[in-house]
């Protein structure tokens, strides 16, 4: 399996290793890059079996933002959790306009499967995150079979939709400042109309508030949202998710954190909580 992966870099951190790989991915029909943090336990020849937490980043990010800014590795190392951090979109596919804006195309894959040409040939980040990447990354360590998912902003939306659509594949979900109701905000409108077309019925399949409202399987779900987030009212709309959870009796813990903005300073302030939250369900 690992012969499909090309190692880009490897850095020792908190006794474990942060590795970056590139590989050809069939789901998105192009070369992709991802990062993986392997705690020391994963590097032992004994190969202790470990769970994985997938982290999905937001608009404009690559696989590197979370590694460089979140400060997650100390807790992941102590808890024995492998972190798997994909890029946020296909890149370099030579599609018209793919690099023209920060909120669509490169760096803005929205973790869905596009149905509209020309995006549908490559922009299938849902299948990449849920199927392709686990197949490639989990053989890198002695995977326990337990995985959870988290993310920020567009990546928080991604974590929610990947797990709500595939509850059997994840033990728990968390998110920082997720785009909760993309059908009803400018970022989501732009992405969904271009990737999915204008039939708003199709959008519901990729909207966390819609999916949560009709979920039959329930997963532990933690969300942190900063009260001073500059995108809170226009783009993120947590109230839609709270209403859907309340109607569906879905156990959502949404913590409004006073004074925090949308940045990685917010993520760095609470990432340990999220790792401890997932650790409860990954053992």
Ligand X SMILES: N[C@@H](CCC(=O)N[C@@H](CSC=O)C(=O)NCC(=O)O)C(=O)O
**Where does this chain bind ligand X (CB under 6 A)?**
58-61, 65, 69, 102, 152-154, 262-264
Tell me the residue ranges of DSSP E strands in 132-268: 143-152, 173-176, 221-226, 252-257
Closest CA relative to residue 30, chosen from 18, 38, 39, 22: 22
The DSSP code for 199 is: -
Whether residue 89 contacts residue 60, with contact meaning beta carbons closer than 8 Å, is answered with no
Whether residue 156 contacts residue 223, with contact meaning beta carbons closer than 8 Å, is answered with yes
Of 42 and 160, which has the nearer Cβ to ligand X? Answer: 160
Of 57 and 77, which has the nearer Cβ to ligand X? Answer: 57
Of 39 and 182, which has the nearer Cβ to ligand X? Answer: 182
**Closest approach of Cβ 280 to ligand X, in Å?**
26
**Closest approach of Cβ 153 to ligand X, in Å?**
3
**Closest approach of Cβ 248 to ligand X, in Å?**
25
The DSSP code for 15 is: T
Which positions are catalytic?
A: 153, 229, 262
Per-position b or e across 178-199, b if 16+ CB within 10 A of its CB: bbbbbbbbebbebbbebbbeee
**Closest approach of Cβ 63 to ligand X, in Å?**
12
> What strands lie across the sheet with 30-38, from one edge to the other?
6-13, 16-25, 30-38, 82-86, 50-56, 143-152, 173-176, 221-226, 252-257
């Amino acid at each position: 399996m690992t012969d499909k992966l090309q190692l880009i870099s490897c850095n020792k951190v908190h006794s474990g290793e942060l590795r970056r790989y590139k590989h050809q991915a069939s789901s998105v029909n192009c070369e992709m890059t991802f990062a993986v943090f392997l705690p020391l336990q994963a590097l032992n020849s004994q190969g202790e079996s470990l769970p994985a937490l997938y982290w999905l980043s937001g608009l404009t990010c690559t696989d590197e933002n979370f590694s460089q800014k979140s400060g997650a590795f100390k807790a992941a190392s102590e808890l024995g959790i492998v972190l798997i951090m994909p890029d946020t979109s296909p890149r370099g596919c030579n599609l018209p306009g793919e690099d023209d804006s920060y909120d669509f195309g490169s760096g803005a894959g929205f973790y869905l499967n596009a149905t509209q040409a020309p995006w549908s040939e490559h922009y299938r980040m849902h299948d990449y995150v849920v199927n392709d990447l686990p197949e490639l990354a989990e053989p890198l360590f002695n995977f326990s079979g337990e995985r959870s998912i988290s993310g920020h902003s567009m990546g928080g939306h991604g974590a929610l939709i990947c797990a709500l659509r595939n509850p059997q594949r994840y033990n728990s979900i968390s998110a920082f400042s997720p785009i909760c109701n993309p059908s009803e905000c400018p970022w989501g409108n732009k992405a969904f109309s271009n990737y999915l077309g204008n039939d708003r019925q199709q959008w519901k399949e990729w909207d966390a508030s819609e999916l949560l409202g009709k979920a039959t399987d329930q997963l532990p779900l933690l969300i942190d949202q900063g009260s001073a987030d500059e995108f809170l009212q226009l783009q993120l709309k947590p109230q839609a998710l709270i209403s859907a959870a309340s109607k569906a009796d879905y156990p959502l813990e949404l913590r409004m954190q006073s004074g925090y903005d949308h940045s990685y300073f917010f993520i760095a302030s609470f990432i340990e909580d999220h790792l401890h939250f997932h650790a409860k369900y990954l053992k």
